Structure 1
Amino acid sequence: MKEKSEKIDISKVLSSNKEITENDVLALIILMEEGRIQNPTLMKKLNLRRVGANTPETAGYYRRKLEKMGIIEGYPAKINWEKIGYPTEFVVIATSQNKKGVLEIEKRHIAVVRWYKEVTGASIGVIPLSEKGDKVILKDVLFCGQKPMAVITGRATDDGAAMMYADLYLPKLYPGIDTARLIIKRSSIRDFEFQDELIESVKEVLFDEGEIERYREAFRKEFRWDLLSRSKK
């Protein structure tokens, strides 16, 4: 029997920004999955009707609004999570002395994810942590086979919220697990792409004079450039 529950406005769960509506969030989720989706298809997925070009009943309205607010910075959809209120990026590594502890994390996630989507109407996992507005969004929940381990990545409203999730929420939910919390400060490669702007911006801070050339020379000698070459026919 399907549980009855009051309608949840995912926009209020996701963000405290009052400008963001439920359709904004739904459009954002769709654009994250299909950045190049055409407006007519987006309109159907949002269950909108075709009316005036700049009214909330058109798909283009939501795309332009998210772009204007600086939430979408490019395509394929590049999301600025700080604009939504999630500046902290984190990784949690959960381990257990036996497989049962980590297996419980996997079983619970699999058991509730579809129900969560039915209740919220969204395919993005938002976990409220306190009445003060501390929240996290789950990006990846990964389970490793060689050793009982779960790796969870996501975004948090601040470093404190990431701490609450890793150090308090998870251990309470899964007694017996140990968690290690990592706050991501920057990345030189992201989703397979070199982060050129970031790399340029930190050069002067990270390196002393001549260090870059020394690292490059060592890499040049050690790297198997020959294996990158095409095989001779």
Structure 2
Amino acid sequence: MIENLFPNLNRNQTLTIVSLMRNGRLTDSKLKDILGYKSENSAAYYRKELEKKGIIKGYTAEIDWEKLGYSTRFLIIVEAENSVTLHEIERDHIFAADEYLKNVGDIVSTPTLFGNVLLKDVATSYGTLATIHGLATSEDAVRSYSEIYLKERYHGIQTTVYILKDFSIIDFFIQKEFIEKYKKLSPMTEKDEKRLEMFRGKFFKRFAPRD
């Protein structure tokens, strides 16, 4: 399913990008194994191709997200009358990210009616507020995610969307270590499992990249 991550790149280009994001010092010898080639020249070809296009701007692989189609940086502020709903949002995203990691890949790509959204962080803070930020292919994609997905799933919340013009993004890889630590400190409850089952049946089918 990783082929669907960047619509304007083919499978080998996408694998090259993701591999270099994990390790900018990756050699062509190791990259060829990831791509399934016998020759290092084949791996070098895809690396150089992405450099010529300006998508890879430097090493450790610095990705120009705008050239990959993700030109909109955003922050969504979620307000609720109580902290229970906000903690549900946070826990749902953590356990959903864990499910996504097992079935799809390291980067959470969320398709909407108007484009894709990449989530960087979902966190509760300041009592009755939660923050969600990341990148999207368009402002409409962000607003669709906010108005259709969030408000449909969490009744009674209010969302405010901010489109950020100056914002530094490091990466969008699911943080495996954090998820494992979180699950040890706060194990999944029966209620969490029921909500995750709903995610498997509805959210995962709706938003997971399609073959």
The question of a shared fold, defined as TM-score above 0.5 by the shorter chain, is answered with: yes
Give the aligned partner of residue 106 of structure 1: 90
Structure 1: tracts of 5 or more residues without a match? 1-8, 193-233
Aligned match of 1:50 in 30, 38, 46? Answer: 38
1:185-219 per-residue CA deviation (whole Å, 9 max, x = no partner) reads 135xx479xxxxxxxxxxxxxxxxxxxxxxxxxxx
Any conservation in 1 of the 2:121–2:133 contact (CA below 8 Å)?
yes
Give the aligned partner of residue 127 of structure 1: 110
Give the aligned partner of residue 122 of structure 2: 141
- Matching residue's letter, 1:109: H
**Distance (whole Å) between structure 2 residues aligned to residue 102 and residue 136 of structure 1:** 20
Larger Rg: 1
**Distance (whole Å) between structure 2 residues aligned to residue 81 and residue 10 of structure 1:** 16
Any conservation in 2 of the 1:101–1:176 contact (CA below 8 Å)?
no
Shift of 1:74: 1.6
Tell me: CA distance 1:68–1:153, structure 2 relative to 1, closer, same or farther (3 Å): same
Report whether the alignment pairs 1:152 with 2:98.
Answer: no
What is the aligned length? 170
Give the aligned partner of residue 11 of structure 2: 22
Any conservation in 1 of the 2:29–2:40 contact (CA below 8 Å)?
no
Report whether the alignment pairs 1:179 with 2:159.
Answer: yes
Task: Specify the SS of the correspondent of 2:66.
Answer: helix
Segments of 4+ moved more than 6 angstroms: none
Aligned match of 1:85 in 48, 69, 93? Answer: 69
- Matching residue's letter, 2:79: T
**Distance (whole Å) between structure 1 residues aligned to residue 98 and residue 12 of structure 2:** 20
Give the aligned partner of residue 4 of structure 1: none
Shift of 1:47: 5.7
**Distance (whole Å) between structure 2 residues aligned to residue 156 and residue 37 of structure 1:** 28
Give the aligned partner of residue 220 of structure 1: none
Q: What is the TM-score of this pair, normalised by structure 2? A: 0.70
**Distance (whole Å) between structure 2 residues aligned to residue 119 and residue 160 of structure 1:** 27
**Distance (whole Å) between structure 2 residues aligned to residue 141 and residue 174 of structure 1:** 15
Aligned match of 2:23 in 31, 34, 49? Answer: 34
Q: Give me the identity figure in percent.
A: 35
**Distance (whole Å) between structure 2 residues aligned to residue 25 and residue 64 of structure 1:** 13
Structure with more contact order per residue of length (Cα contacts < 8 Å, sep ≥ 6) = 2
Report whether the alignment pairs 1:161 with 2:141.
Answer: yes
Tell me: CA distance 1:167–1:191, structure 2 relative to 1, closer, same or farther (3 Å): closer
Any conservation in 1 of the 2:151–2:157 contact (CA below 8 Å)?
yes
> What is the RMSD computed on CA atoms of the aligned residues?
2.4
